[in-house]
A and B are shown apart, each in its own frame.
Chain A
Amino acid sequence: MSLDLSTLTPTEEARRQIEICNACRYCEGFCAVFPAMTRQKAFSDGDLTQLANLCHNCRGCYYACQYTAPHEFALNIPAALAEVRVESWERLARPQALARLFQTHGVAVAGLLVVVLAWFFWALFAWRPDTGAGFYAHLAHNTMVAIFAPAFLAPLALIALSIRDFWREVGGGQVRLAHLVTALSGAARMKNLSGGHGEGCNFENGDRFSDRRRVFHQLMMYGFLLCFASTASATVMHYALGWEAPYPLWSLPKLFGVPGGVMMVAGTIGLVRLKLAADPELGAARVWGAEMAFVLLLGLVALTGLALYAATGTGIVGPLLALHLASVMVLFLLMPYSKMVHGFYRLAALVAEAGKPEPVRGGE
């Protein structure tokens, strides 16, 4: 039985592999993908989209698999699902052309950063207000809001439309509170990176298990959420309490933002090192560069934010502010077209999975 694998689309290749996987089932227990696949014998495109977005690329199944190359079945489930996953993000994004550009082009990410940065410098010079303290001496608060509100809200709206399409494609049903709780608790603990035994995954050290990816990913995620909470609390303080920036260290924005920034920087360093150590053949190889660029962008946002705080009152606040605002802006603008979108799809896939019937288990 031989197949010309080169002619298969990513979805067809994933289907070929998942059907072999489903006849084996030794890996059930590693993560949510395997119990989910036992619900059926035939897989629609939507089923594969769902499985692909449940997969956290931990690679445990690859190293445990008796059918990886050179075996003629040539299974590589982490890579096959990564390809389908990236393809689904591109296909469901709007406009698709931007997704294709940024999913695969780390250089384009950097290029966009430079353009936005130049624009911010121009804005700082041209629109420098007559009054204001801290950052607002460089760029008026209302100007910042006018620039950032649409740059934040428009990508979120586009992502919401994509997730709606995703939900239809994977056959997600009525969302109940219990499904959300299950999904959020799984995401909060990164249950699918635990390896099923709490010792982590096989991402960066061959077939040995390690919890480092889970730890660094959590630093990044919780760091990002803290930074987001920092901005949100500052917004409330600004509008509701009339307390304008700059804020002292013992204020909510700083208590959220400083540890959040430090966690993001640590997460960036960790994730970049793991990504360099991992085998690129077990992921979507064509987006490796863009994924790396995205992690570095997150790190840049955190680092420039921390640097900006450290530089309070000095002459480099202006340039640092431009750099920080530019990186934040690019992060927001790229949300629907970069690895950032994985968070939305993963969560949606986990919610959809929580709402599906209990899988049937089998065995020899």
Chain B
Amino acid sequence: MTDWPEAFDLAVVGGGNAALCAAITAAEAGASVLILESAPLPYRGGNSRHTRNFRCMHKGPMFPLTGQYEEDEYLHDLMLVTKGKTDEGLARLAIRTSEECLPWMQAHGVRFQPSLSGTLSLSRTNAFFLGGGKALVNAYYNTAADLGVKVAYEAEVTHVHLDGDRITHLEATIAGTPVTVRARAFVLASGGFQADIDWLARAWGPAARNFLIRGTPYNRGVVLRDMLDQGAEQVGDPTQCHAVAIDGRAPKFDGGIVTRLDCVPFSIVVNRDGDRFYDEGEDVWPKRYAIWGRLVAAQPDQVGYALIDAKSIDLFMPSVFPPVKADTIEGLASAMGLDPQAVRRTVDGFNAACRPGPFHPTELDGLRTEGLNVPKTNWARPLDTPPFYGYQLRPGVTFTYLGLKVDARAQVHTSQGPVRNLWAAGEIMAGSILGQGYLAGFGMTIGTVFGRIAGREAAAHVA
């Protein structure tokens, strides 16, 4: 094991949004900073690469956000998705600080899209990055480079050495070579553990081996495990992860945004045995999007099949892979590896339960089935117009909830009290605020707010 050539004021473990916010903040305060990014350069940025927007409180219109989105409404939205599983103090801190983050982001190179007139009405609550998360990551790396921050890629931290109430050094491999990294302060921003399939399988059961990982393959939770093993206080449920239903043909890792499928409300979804298992028309898609990962994960082989007909094929966002297409229901079932008779029975039963009425694809239209055990309560139209189309669905994991508990200064604690020179930011501590569920753009809010706090505190510690 060799020593890193110089000792730094601050070593930041991780290379995504939270890590960069911490590094930039500390460097601006005069600290010398090293970023240890486990990915090679083309994959730098962790899950931030795949993100798209930032949820931001604001009292009045603020570019690019329209209207106002105040603390209580924001908190209310968070309470809805977490069902109260949040630390309200930290949540309010994140929400309140998000307002000053937006101009800070712009001042550090992040560019936003003019507000979208799009379908989701997020232009009031969420600011969209021009070019997406990788553009944000690029801007921050350039800003950091201009501030003299050093970056080591392919730098995997294997051990954070805790000695009493202080971290003395990190053990890491950089491009395969073992090194010791010395610094006076440390920020952990190395994400969750969702890319460690074995860990997922231990937590979830063997079904997790069939999950797809939507984000970076580099969030393997090595540092998180190491800190928990050394007695760091933990938050979140280790058995839980946030999963959405994505295209079953997506890559095992890193499929990102394009693997989403928006077709479910206009389809019927059957499992491997050709049976429906949940109300596809429960609510508009973005709201119910998140639950389908869990629903599909509970089905045999963790797979579902969304079936639609020619009436509905143009009602949703384009998919990255073309749908399977056939002229008959039986043909579609065979092409997707399903039993044609079973699917035919399900479709016939569904079609017979549909009632005529006005169909409104953009709102809850109450067009519901009658007499089915698993009803479809909106957008229920018979599958009767060929050609028929099908998409395979699988659970796509976006992140895990287990993490390090932090205080309002982003400091990490063990049962013995605070670790004097250790802070955490981003997904590794997000469970402190987001105990379950998800709110679009909130991960970036937590990362930015706590990244800046961690950077500020670390710089103050070494000043």
Binding site for B on A (CB under 8 A): 1, 19-20, 22-24, 26-30, 41, 60-61, 63-73, 195-197, 199, 207-208, 361-364
Contact = CB atoms under 8 A, between A and B. Distances in A.
Contact of B134 (A64, A72, A361): A64
A24 B258 contact: yes
A61 B131 contact: yes
Interface stretch (B26-34, B88-96, B315-323): B315-323
- Chain B interface, >50% SS class: loop
A197 B128 CA distance: 13
Contact of B111 (A65, A196, A362): A196
Interface in B280-294: 286
A74 to B, nearest CB: 12
B50 interface: yes
A66 B111 contact: no
B116 A363 contact: yes
Contacts of A361: 116-119
Contact of B131 (A26, A67, A70): A26
Interface of B: 42-43, 49-50, 52, 111, 113-114, 116-120, 122, 128-135, 138, 142, 249, 251, 254, 256-258, 260, 286, 314, 317-322, 440
A23 B134 contact: no
Given A26-B52, A26-B257, A361-B119, A64 B138 contact: yes
Output the residue of B50, B129, B249, B318 with the most chain A CB within 10 A: B318
Given A72-B251, A196-B111, A362 B118 contact: yes
Nearest to A28: B113
A41 B314 contact: yes
Given A30-B131, A66-B50, A71-B254, A363 B111 contact: no
A346 to B, nearest CB: 22
- Chain A interface, >50% SS class: loop
Contact of B135 (A63, A70, A364): A63
Contacts of A207: 138, 142
Contacts of B130: 29-30, 64, 196-197
Given A24-B258, A29-B114, A364-B257, A66 B133 contact: yes
A284 to B, nearest CB: 23
Nearest to A65: B134
Query: Nearest 4 A-B pairs (CB), nearest first?
Result: A26-B132, A64-B131, A64-B135, A23-B258
Contacts of B254: 66, 71
Given A1-B251, A207-B142, A363-B119, A23 B114 contact: no
A208 B122 CA distance: 28
Nearest to B111: A197
A30 B111 CA distance: 11
A63 B117 CA distance: 25
B132 A363 contact: no
Output the residue of B119, B131, B138, B260 with the most chain A CB within 10 A: B131
Output the residue of A66, A197, A361 with the most chain B CB within 10 A: A66
